[in-house]
């Protein structure tokens, strides 16, 4: 019986491993392309200057070019009527828009925040520029997050930092991609709500791994974070579809994400000096612009400032891009971001 050549076996195993991660990357690209193709159905369709979710609430998504009145009166509120006709489903909004020529004015009645308001908006065509500004930003950032998770699994599979990046990349990628498939006829509302809860937990996990915290505290804080996250995820799934609860849930979700992004920003800024010089600027940029800027956007959204949260995706791609490039430049150095005081794993 011939003995196996250890070097040959190792080379075959390496090729198999590389093939698996290449397949995972292709799958992520295919998933992104599928969502992108679905979102293209918006192009050239009548559009009121704001989106409406399946539960008839208006999410804080917008562009400066969309002249839809006072955003503070629109965001996180529920559409109850158009031109005095009661709206029972989100599809009714699109049917009412399509029934009149582009440029027609509509009186939209919204409820929430203890009051009812009526705003006048004019329909317009959803342009290719709108598609790339909103959906394009989500798709590109989501794809980079998924690729970061795959790259971390390939480069640092047995490292706490690698596992934390896998969690952040996976949750961040699904958060962004589901945001691009969030509005009818998209069917990702429950997935997006779930990732809205999971993403802050993964960011806190990452912050505890790279931050200069003692191991016992990191273990305790991580366990508490995931316990609260699972409870919150269940609660939000049960409350989904209740328009009256939407404003409070959205404000809480945005505030939680802002705090988690802020914690990850501070932790990564402090930790970046522990890597090689080539990777340090990449991680610094990833922290300040890829995490810090979105943290500010979500904080303002939580405070009801009328800031569209899709602005966070405009610079959010810099986090997976910067950390991913850092992994390629100095994989060992990025792994050294972990300063745990003792052996083990989170």
Burial of 238 (0-12, 13-18, 19+ CB in 10 A): exposed
Among candidates 47, 46, 52, which has minimal Cα distance to 81?
52
The stretches in the chain having pLDDT less than 50 are 1-4, 8-9, 12-13, 341-346
Asked if 48 and 68 touch (Cβ cutoff 8 Å), the reply is yes
Whether residue 192 is found in the same domain as residue 97: no
The pLDDT of residue 344 is: 43
Q: Is 52 part of a structural domain of the chain?
A: yes
Whether residue 147 is found in the same domain as residue 296: yes
Whole-structure pTM value: 0.86
Q: Is 340 part of a structural domain of the chain?
A: no
Burial of 342 (0-12, 13-18, 19+ CB in 10 A): exposed
Whether residue 120 is found in the same domain as residue 134: no
Q: Which of 95, 125, 155 is the last residue of a domain?
A: 125
The pLDDT of residue 268 is: 93
Whether residue 106 is found in the same domain as residue 213: no
Maximum Cα interatomic distance, the chain, rounded to a whole number of Å: 85
Q: Which of 77, 109, 125 is the last residue of a domain?
A: 125
The pLDDT of residue 33 is: 94
Determine what percent of the chain is predicted with pLDDT higher than 70. Answer: 88
Residues near 116 by Cβ (< 8 Å), separated by ≥ 6? 80, 109, 110
Q: Is 147 part of a structural domain of the chain?
A: yes
Give residue 65's domain range: 46-125
Q: Is 27 part of a structural domain of the chain?
A: no
Q: Which of 106, 125, 144 is the last residue of a domain?
A: 125
Among candidates 288, 315, 311, 285, which has minimal Cα distance to 299?
311
The pLDDT of residue 159 is: 87
The pLDDT of residue 343 is: 41
Q: How many domains does the chain have?
A: 2
The pLDDT of residue 184 is: 62
Whether residue 246 is found in the same domain as residue 295: yes
Q: Is 233 part of a structural domain of the chain?
A: yes
Whether residue 119 is found in the same domain as residue 189: no
Q: Is 28 part of a structural domain of the chain?
A: no
The pLDDT of residue 293 is: 95
Helix (H, G, I), strand (E, B) or coil at 45: coil
CATH number at residue 110: 2.30.42.10
Whether residue 209 is found in the same domain as residue 71: no
Whether residue 136 is found in the same domain as residue 261: yes
Whether residue 91 is found in the same domain as residue 162: no
- pLDDT tens, residue by residue, 170-197: 999 999 999 888 776 555 778 888 899 9
Burial of 18 (0-12, 13-18, 19+ CB in 10 A): exposed
Whether residue 167 is found in the same domain as residue 293: yes
């Amino acid at each position: 019986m011939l003995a196996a050549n250890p070097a040959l076996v190792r080379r075959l195993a390496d090729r198999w491993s590389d093939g698996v991660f290449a397949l995972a990357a292709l799958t992520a690209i295919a998933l992104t392309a599928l969502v992108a193709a679905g979102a293209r159905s918006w192009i050239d369709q009548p559009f009121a200057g704001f989106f409406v979710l399946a539960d008839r609430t208006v999410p804080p998504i917008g562009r400066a070019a969309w002249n839809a009145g006072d955003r503070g009166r629109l965001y996180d509120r529920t559409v109850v009527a158009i031109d005095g006709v009661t709206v029972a489903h989100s599809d009714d909004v699109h049917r009412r828009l399509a029934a009149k020529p582009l440029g027609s004015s509509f009186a939209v009645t919204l409820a929430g925040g203890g009051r009812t308001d009526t705003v006048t908006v004019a329909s317009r065509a959803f342009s290719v520029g709108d598609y790339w500004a909103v959906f394009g930003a989500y798709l590109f950032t989501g794809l980079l997050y998924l690729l970061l998770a795959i790259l971390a699994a390939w480069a640092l599979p047995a490292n706490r930092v690698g596992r934390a990046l896998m969690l952040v990349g996976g949750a961040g990628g699904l958060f962004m991609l589901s945001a691009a498939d969030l509005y009818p006829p998209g069917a990702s509302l429950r997935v997006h709500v779930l990732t809205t809860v999971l993403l802050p937990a993964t960011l806190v996990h990452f912050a505890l791994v790279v931050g200069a915290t003692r191991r016992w505290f990191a273990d305790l804080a991580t366990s508490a974070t995931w316990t609260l996250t699972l409870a919150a995820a269940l609660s939000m799934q049960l409350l989904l579809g209740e328009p009256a609860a939407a404003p409070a849930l959205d404000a809480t979700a945005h505030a939680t994400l802002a705090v988690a992004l802020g914690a990850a920003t501070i932790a990564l800024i402090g930790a970046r000096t522990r890597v090689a010089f080539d990777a340090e600027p990449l991680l610094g940029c990833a922290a300040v612009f890829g995490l810090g800027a979105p943290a500010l956007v979500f904080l303002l959204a939580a405070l009801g400032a009328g800031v569209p949260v899709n602005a966070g995706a405009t610079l959010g791609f810099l986090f997976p891009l910067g950390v991913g490039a850092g992994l390629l430049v100095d994989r060992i150095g990025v792994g050294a971001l972990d300063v745990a005081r003792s052996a083990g794993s989170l």
